[in-house]
Amino acid sequence: MKLVLTEDEQFLKDTAKSFADERAPITHFRALRDSNDPILWDKEIWCEMVKLGWPGILIPEEYGGSNFGITGIGVILNECAKTLTPSPLFATGVLGAYAITNFGTDEQKQNFLPKIVSGDLTTALAIDESSHHNPKETEMIAKKEGESFIVNGKKTFVVDGASADLFIVLARTSGNKGDMTGLTLFLVDSNTKGVEKIKLEMADSRNYANINFDNVEICNSNILGDAEAGGETVEDILDVGRIAIASEMLGNAEAAFDATLDYLKQRKQFGVLIGSFQALQHRAAEMFCELELTKSSVMAAMKAAEEGSNELQRLSSLAKTMAGETLHLVSNEAIQMHGGIGVTDEYDIGFFLKRARVAEQIFGSSKYHTERYANLSGF
């Protein structure tokens, strides 16, 4: 496992960087936020991403994708995160594409994958049910009735939930809250009777929703993966999702750091550039080290996911923890080093602080993954 990008991956990264800078600079994100847009991403930008083939990166060629790999989608998310480019790429191009490609039946693949590639279908993964991520605490009941299941309960904090056409939902088909067994994944059309999306207004102005399920009838054929083994399946999907969001968060941190570094080299106080103060220099140098460690962790996790390494789970928790801690540090320091202007809404740096704290919660906080890392390491 070599921790460097291949030429093709580097090319994809460069393309994504130009795209984000030219087509979706931070002003684009700001405009969407200020317009009270109901889904907080722009269909035109999404169409352009579709034309570039990005939603199909994890999808096999027979369904119209490029099967390029997780590092490929990881570097795109990383670059787009630098301008906070809003899009359904994470929830659809990573979570939906990966889940259906790897666990779907032939029929499910045929039904959904080509539509993901063509941009006609967006997806969302509905796992959490409280204020903290913890799949084994799932209570949502899916009760068998003939050839169908009846689902009742509520899902919280679903990324892209306000706009998704298809939900991948984790529900309990047996056992009790706290068991990792007895869970099953279902594919649920968002227009199904009894499904209600409630858009969430979060600090970072991204698309999230709570989803109510009121006697929702789901046909057997919409089970994703093996029934009762959804706990294992969902951990596999989540690990890839954690790595992808970690790559995004690394991009957030890199952009906030670069903006801060620029500011240190421009802003004068007491007649000198503030970047010449050792009190700020050393903190910047420490952030640099943490960013380098995070880059290595994310890179190793992406490569491990691609190779199906048995270290994948540990590396996924490592990447999510490192990205969370580093983004936490950098987003705080960025505000402090910008001084007064850093806490104004007019200036962009505050966006990164808000995104940081929300993203830290996605699929498990650093605390959750530090504990998981210890469990997986045998101590």
Partner 1 sequence: MSNLDTFREDTKKWLDENCPPSMRSGADPDIPVDEVWGGRNAEYKNPESKLWLDRMGEKGWTMPTIPAEYGGGGLTKDQVKILNEEMFFIGAKAPLLSFGIWMLAPVLLEYGSEEQKKEHLPKIIKGEIRWCQGYSEPGSGSDLASLGTKAEDVGDSFIVNGQKVWTSYADKADWIFALVRTGAKEPKHDGISFLLIDMESKGVSTKPITLISGKSPFCETFFDNVEVPKGNLIGDLNAGWTIAKKLLQHERAFISNFGLAAGMGSNRDIVSIAKKHLGEENGKIKNSFYRSEISSHKIKEHAFGLTLKRAGDEGGKASATASMFKLYGTEHNKKRHELMVAASGVNGVAWDGDEFDDGDKNLTRAWLRTKGNSIEGGTSEVQLNVISKRVLGLPTQ
Which residues contribute to the site for partner 1 (CB under 8 A)?
Answer: 2-4, 261, 264-265, 272-273, 275-278, 280-282, 284-286, 288-289, 292-297, 299-300, 318, 321-322, 367, 370-371, 373-375, 377-379
In the bound state with partner 1, the residue whose beta carbon lies nearer, of 180 and 280, is: 280
Q: How far is the CB of 82 from partner 1 (least distance, A)?
A: 18
Closest to partner 1 by CB, 4 or 201? 4
Per-state percent for the chain, helix, strand, coil, to nearest 5: 55, 15, 30
Query: Considering beta carbons, is residue 203 or 374 the nearer one to partner 1?
Result: 374
Minimum separation from the CB atom of position 271 to partner 1 (A): 10
* Rounded Cα gap, residues 21 and 41, in angstroms: 16
Structure tokens at 189: 């059309």
Q: Measuring CA to CA, how many Å separate 351 from each of 232, 283, 317, 334?
A: 35, 21, 25, 11
R_g of the chain, CA atoms, integer Å: 21
Cβ atoms of 149 and 170 closer than 8 Å: no
Nearer CB in complex with partner 1: 187/264: 264
**Amino acid in position 340:** G
**Residue spans of alpha helices (H) in the chain:** 7-23, 26-34, 43-51, 70-82, 97-103, 106-117, 230-266, 278-307, 312-338, 349-361, 366-377
* Of residues 87 and 317, the one with the C-beta less far from partner 1: 317
Q: Measured from the CB of residue 375, what is the shortest distance to partner 1 in angstroms?
A: 8
- For 88, which DSSP code? S
Measured from the CB of residue 91, what is the shortest distance to partner 1 in angstroms? 27
123 and 164 in contact (C-beta within 8 Å)? yes
**Nearer of residues 219 and 289 to partner 1, judged by Cβ:** 289
Counting beta carbons within 10 angstroms of the beta carbon of residue 262, is it exposed (0 to 12), middle (13 to 18) or buried (19 or more)?
Answer: exposed
Among residues 121 and 322, whose Cβ is nearest to partner 1? 322
Minimum gap (Å) between residue 369 Cβ and partner 1: 8
Please report how close the Cβ of residue 261 comes to partner 1 at its closest, in angstroms.
Answer: 6
In angstroms, the CA 45 to CA 41 distance is 8
Q: Measuring CA to CA, how many Å separate 131 from each of 18, 156, 320?
A: 37, 8, 18
Residue 182: CB minimum distance to partner 1, A: 22
> What angle, 0 to 180 degrees and rounded to 10, lies between the N-to-C axes of helices 70-82 and 7-23?
30
Greatest Cα pair distance in the chain: 79
Rounded least distance, CB 288 to partner 1, Å? 6
Closest CB to partner 1 among residues 49, 274: 274
